[in-house]
Amino acid sequence: MDNQEAVIALHNVRKQYGSFVAVHEANFSIGRGEFFALLGPSGCGKTTTLKMIAGFEQPTDGQVFLEGVNVSEVPPHKRNVNTVFQQYALFPHMTVFDNVAFGPRSKKIQETEVVRRVTEMLDIVRLGEFANRRPSQLSGGQQQRVALARALVNYPSALLLDEPLAALDLKLREAMQIELKRIQREVGITFVFVTHDQGEALTMSDRIAVMSEGHVEQIGSSADIYSRPESLFVAGFIGSANLLPGTVVSSDGSGIRVDLVGGTQVVVPVGNSASNVSLAAGAQVTVVLRPEHVHFDPQGQVSVSVTDSVYQGSSVRIVGRMENGTEVSAIVGVEPGVRAPLPGETTLMTWHPEIPYLLAGWPEMAGSTSTNVDSIEASL
Amino acid sequence: MLVLAAGIVAVGAEWVTGNASLIVSAVMLVAVVTIIWTAFVGGLDTRRALAPYGLLKPGILWLSLFFLAPLWSMLQMSLSSKQNRFDFFPSFSWEWGNYTTAFSDYGAQFGRSFLYAAIATLFTLLIGYPLAYVIAFRGGKYKAVLLGLVAVPFFTSYLIRTLAWQNLLADSGPVMSVFNATGFTTVLEALGIITNGQIMNTPASVIGGLTYNFLPFMILPIYVSLEKIDVRLVDAAMDLYSSASAAFRRVVLPLSLPGVFAGSLLVFIPAAGDFVNAQFLGSPNTTMIGNVIQDQFLRQLNFPVASAMSFVLMAIITVSVLIYAKIMGTDDLV
């Protein structure tokens, strides 16, 4: 990201509470008009990062730049960013109109201009006819849109959203994702969006920063993060993945040969590896196979004994074990004439040769991280 | 239900006596039996419809017996007079003169009562609001302890606490000693708060006593309304370009007004009718209407005038509370 175009830039930003480090040296910048997501499990430091941008927290070290100006020590009411809070934090004693007008009135903008702006913004969020209602008389989705309007009416440099959809039910959340995208396109303001829901981040964002335990693990587009993860954490957190530990045997122009723990050899195409992978023989690596890319075929390479089969409507999720005990899962489309393997059967697993992807190191627990309840609970 | 209430009031107030009271009692009994009978024979819907009245019964009975009946009897008394000088009890005679006496002879005490009560309410608000604010927002784990401390004075009787202030404010007591030693006495004397080197027996000591005694009634409701405020609303206000003081003015204060309203009523109403503070901390020049009513009832045994004054006091309080509620617009608050 070109620094000239950056609306928000973090330089070595670090936040420490006593001996606990909430955010380790975060370095990134967010461009004008970008929809940027901070994604990670709870406690990963994403909300703290957002609060440092908003001004509710001061960084222990490093600087926060807003429109090129160092605002690290500037209080929230003097920063031109606005926040949509998790539970919206609408003022219960004011009407929708007064809630939205709160910011402009604080800035002592002329009342006629306030009325014009608020009316315009309520139209954008499609709440024009609710101007005189109290927040308590609105549904969750409407309150959400009031919170958006209240922030956007100030024409901030950037809008910060702290898990804004977490309180909504599934259908409404999906509708609001589209609505948020529409509003963002319409106003052209930078959105910084904090979420623990990868689906939300993948569908809405231009770029995603994946965070874990205070570290920014990877920044990239949805497709980058999903198909070219840089770390085991990212591979396991975004979508589900079979993480198969192995060692590099050899590597040349035709591919990287990896012996999986337990014996099977897998060939990984050259270039299908994270930037930090060592291709020297003997290096410990992990082969990533997404469940939707795994098929069962009599000509397959790896023998799997099926332990479970879960019908999911458009697809069937098959869970099985390789001979070495590593758990794997596959998502198989439901098609006429194709019979999904049943629990108790032993079958052969295969994949397209372009699919395998290499990461450095071994996972703490071999197998498909995303079906392990304990590890998911531990990360949430 | 209404029959029941009316009956209790009637009998209780000795409005109907002799055989008439028997008839009224019989009507009441029939009303109760009818309700219970309907509930028994009626279907589910009937019983559902009657349930609220059943639940209201204890409350209505209680209020009829101990509120409506005495009120009614006092209203009668306020319009009574002694027919000849040997009567011990006055009898009902549409004697409106009691009310004119109440106003003409004791107008000063009425005015003083409301003035003192209003000033005391203002002081309890000025002292109580910051205290409640600190306990609610900065109390942390000490919240319960601090609230307990607010209530601690109630472990001692109201009278004893007030009598203790006699000693504290006495001419040679600790308060005056400090004032004299620091030369503060002359300042207060110039301001007219202290007269003749005394703080006892002045309006200041009476208002001070009222403020002290009713302070917890201001703190607790304000604390409750502040405690309910989501602190993220303050974050939101600051995020929307409000300074800390503007956030307080525009968000916290309006949301705590119901507590201020409740606290003001809890202080103002009993303070206006109070006689203890004026009796123990004041002088004849600071007599409040409560003292007059007490005196008329218990010493002069002039029940009609005392009753009339009680009604006037009640009427003025009710009207001022209604005006206050209108100004505060409490029904407009969440």
Over residues A238-293, the pLDDT tens digits come to 888 888 888 898 888 888 889 888 778 888 888 888 888 888 888 889 999 998 89
pTM as predicted: 0.78
Establish if B87 belongs to a structural domain: no
Nearest CA in chain A to B329: A93
**CA distance to A12, A14, A27, A160, B142, per residue, from A23 (Å):** 10, 5, 11, 18, 31
Q: Of B21, B49, B78, which residue is a domain's last?
A: B78
The answer as to whether B214 is a domain residue is: yes
Q: Are residues B159 and B274 in the same domain?
A: yes
Q: How far apart are the C-alpha atoms of A158 and A32, rounded to whole Å?
A: 8
- Asked if the C-beta of A95 comes within 8 angstroms of chain B's C-beta atoms, the answer is no
B297 lies in a domain? yes
Residue pLDDT, tens place only, A218-239: 999 999 999 899 998 999 888 8
Compute the distance between CA of residue A301 and CA of residue A244 in angstroms, rounded to an integer: 14
CB-side neighbour CA atoms (13 Å) of B279:
14
Q: Do A201 and A71 share a domain, yes or no?
A: yes
* Inter-chain residue contact A76 with B246, CB threshold 8 Å: no
CATH code for position A215: 3.40.50.300
A198 in the same domain as A274? no
A chain contacts of residue B246, beta-carbon cutoff 8 Å: 106
Q: Quick check: is B173 in a domain? A: yes
Cβ contact, residue pair B241, A106, below 8 Å: yes
One domain, residues B277 and B246: yes
Q: Is B213 domain-assigned? A: yes
Structural domain includes residue B157: yes
- The whole-angstrom distance between B132's CA and the closest CA on chain A is 21
Contacts of B240 in chain A (CB under 8 A): 77, 82, 102-103, 106, 150-151, 154
Is A93 in contact with B236 (Cβ distance < 8 A)?
no
Q: Are residues B194 and B315 in the same domain?
A: yes
The chain A residue lying nearest B234, using CA atoms, is A89
Q: Which of A52, A57, A77 to mutate against chain B (most B CBs within 10 Å)?
A: A77
**How far A114 CA lies from chain B's nearest CA (Å)?**
14
Query: Is A362 inside any structural domain?
Result: yes
Q: Which of A163, A124, A135, A173 is closest to A42 using CA atoms?
A: A163
Q: Is A362 found in the same domain as A282?
A: yes
CA–CA distance, A21 with A213 (Å, rounded to integer): 9
Question: Does any domain span residue A37?
Answer: yes
Residues of chain A in contact with residue B243, where contact means CB-CB under 8 angstroms, are 77
Q: Are residues B229 and B327 in the same domain?
A: yes
Question: Residue A234's Cα: distance from chain center in Å?
Answer: 10
- For residues A360 and A268, state if they share a domain: yes
Distance from CA of B137 to the nearest CA of A (A): 17
Using an 8 Å CB-CB cutoff, list chain B residues near A102.
Answer: 237, 240, 242, 250
A59 and A156 share one domain:
yes
Q: Do B232 and A87 touch (CB under 8 A)?
A: yes
Which CATH number fits the domain that encloses residue A257? 2.40.50.140
- Tell me, yes or no, whether A115 and A153 share the same domain: yes
Does the residue A46 lie in any domain?
yes
Q: Where do we find the tokens 């008394």?
A: B77
Do A362 and A277 share a domain, yes or no? yes
Within 8 A of A91 by CB-CB distance, chain B residues are 233, 236-237, 251
Closest CB from B232, B235, B240 relative to A103: B240
List of chain B residues whose C-beta atoms are within 8 Å of the C-beta of residue A164: none
Instruction: Let me know whether A251 and A180 are in one domain.
Output: no
Name the domain count of chain A.
2
Minimal-distance CA residue of chain B relative to A82: B239
Q: Are residues B242 and B136 part of one domain?
A: yes
Nearest-angstrom CA–CA distance, B82 and B92: 9
Question: What tokens were used for A145?
Answer: 């849109």
In a domain, A1, yes or no: no
Are B11 and B110 found together in one domain? no
Question: Would you state the pLDDT for residue B24?
Answer: 72
Spell out the residues 6+ positions from residue B225 whose beta carbon is closer than 8 angstroms to its own.
B255, B256, B257, B258, B259, B260, B262
Residue B56 shares a structural domain with residue B155: no
Q: Does residue A296 share a domain with residue A267?
A: yes
CA-nearest residue to B251 within chain A is A91
Instruction: Kindly state whether A352 is in contact with chain B, defined as any CB-CB distance less than 8 angstroms.
Output: no
Q: Does residue A237 sit within a domain?
A: no
Q: Tell if the CB–CB gap between B241 and A154 is shorter than 8 Å.
A: yes
For residues A364 and A369, give the distance between their C-alpha atoms in angstroms, rounded to a whole number.
9
For A90-126, the pLDDT digits (tens) are 999 999 999 999 999 999 999 999 999 999 999 988 8
Which residue range(s) make up the domain with B282? 98-332
Asked if residue A188 belongs to a domain, the reply is: yes
Judge if B45 and B102 occupy the same domain. no
Say whether both B44 and B103 belong to one domain. Answer: no
Does A333 contact B at CB distance below 8 Å? no
How far apart are the two ends of chain B, measured CA to CA in Å?
A: 33
Q: B142 and B11 share a domain?
A: no
DSSP readout, A274-321? -TT---STT-EEEEEE-GGGEEE-TT-SEEEEEEEEEE-SSEEEEEEE
CA distance A208 to B38: 70
Flag if A77 and B255 touch (Cβ within 8 Å): no
Q: What stretches in chain A show pLDDT beneath 50?
A: 1-3, 366-371
Tokens of A227: 């198909």
Residues of B in contact with A85 (CB under 8 A): 232, 235-236
Residue A98 near chain B (CB below 8 Å)? no
Q: Are residues B182 and B305 in the same domain?
A: yes
Are B251 and A91 within 8 A, CB to CB?
yes
For residues A193 and A303, membership in a common domain is answered with no
Low-confidence ranges of chain B (pLDDT < 70): 1-21, 330-334
Q: Residue A235 domain-assigned?
A: no
> Which of B78, B113, B136 lies at the terminal end of a domain, its last residue?
B78
Tell me the longest C-alpha to C-alpha distance in chain A: 76
What is the phi-psi region of residue A36: left when phi exceeds 0, alpha when psi lies from -120 to 50, beta otherwise?
A: beta
* Nearest C-alpha in B relative to A147: B236
Picking from A177, A201, A227, the residue at the C-terminal end of a domain is A227
Segment holding A210, helix H or strand E:
strand A207-212
Q: Is A92 on the interface with B (CB under 8 A)?
A: yes
Q: Which tokens sit at A161?
A: 């959203």
CATH number reported for the structural domain that contains residue B262 in this entry: 1.10.3720.10
Residue B84 domain-assigned? no
Residue A47 touches chain B, beta carbons under 8 Å = no
Which residues is A330 bridged to in the sheet?
A: A318
In a shared domain, residues B144 and B113 = yes
Same domain, A35 and A183: yes
Nearest CA in chain B to A101: B240
Q: Quick check: B278 and B292 in contact, CB under 8 A?
A: no
Please tell me whether residues A177 and A257 are part of one structural domain.
no
**End-to-end Cα separation, chain A, in angstroms:** 30
DSSP B298: I
Q: Is B312 within the bounds of a domain?
A: yes
Domain total for chain B?
2
- Domain residue limits at A199: 6-227
